[in-house]
Structure 1
């Protein structure tokens, strides 16, 4: 059986391989899915009062949001790019508030925003 660090390394390698082969819109979808998975970990860590792990998971979430935001072409992307920038910023501020308050209820709006974004990206890949 894998120890936790070995399993994490395996997952990381698997994710890197998928990302290297992904088209840009699929990569965005992968990042959103990863962000949703990490949000679930944040929630679990808060409920278990594992605040050191919560902090690590919040940092991962913020890193993913930053990556998504950095990838936006705000100069040429028009209103869509600006709207996504505002949504990513909102989610980051919400996560900061959750990190300070340790109130999982604050995650519900982040789940909603990201779930809606995921649905939109999925519809693009199906088209």
Structure 2
């Protein structure tokens, strides 16, 4: 099992090292969705500790990845609006964790999917991915 985990880690590291800046943001959206899906499964199974870890990972991705990547100088009003949405997503995730609320998880996932999907469409035009 260790070998498989190490192999997966190398695959992820290779993907990150070769990705364009635009693709890296896409990977953050994917990672947040993966963490939210894991949180939902742990919530349904009553595994409070793992649910909390998965939600914390999603929050970290939003705060330290997506939010931190915003360029307010060049992004202007769009960056401000995205910041407000990301802040709202974090609040949804915190409330979902506190209240075991799948609807809040779903709303956070939907918002991130909407933005991530638009981001990927732009990426196809910019990077061809």
Task: Normalising by structure 1, report the TM-score.
Answer: 0.90
State the distance in 2 between where 1:44 and 1:72 align.
Answer: 30
What SS is found at the alignment partner of 1:72?
coil
Q: Deviations over 1:32-64 (max 9, x none)?
A: 011111110000000000010011111110110
What SS is found at the alignment partner of 1:49?
coil
Mapped pair 1:26 → 2:23: yes
Q: Runs of 5+ in structure 2 lacking a partner? A: none
Q: Runs of 5+ in structure 1 lacking a partner? A: none
The residue correspondences of 1:107-118 to structure 2 (distance < 5 A) are: 107-118=105-116
Shift of 1:69: 0.5
Partner residue of 2:42? 45
Partner residue of 1:54? 51
State the distance in 2 between where 1:7 and 1:87 align.
Answer: 36
State the distance in 2 between where 1:28 and 1:85 align.
Answer: 15
Partner residue of 1:101? 99
**Cα RMSD for the two superposed structures:** 1.5
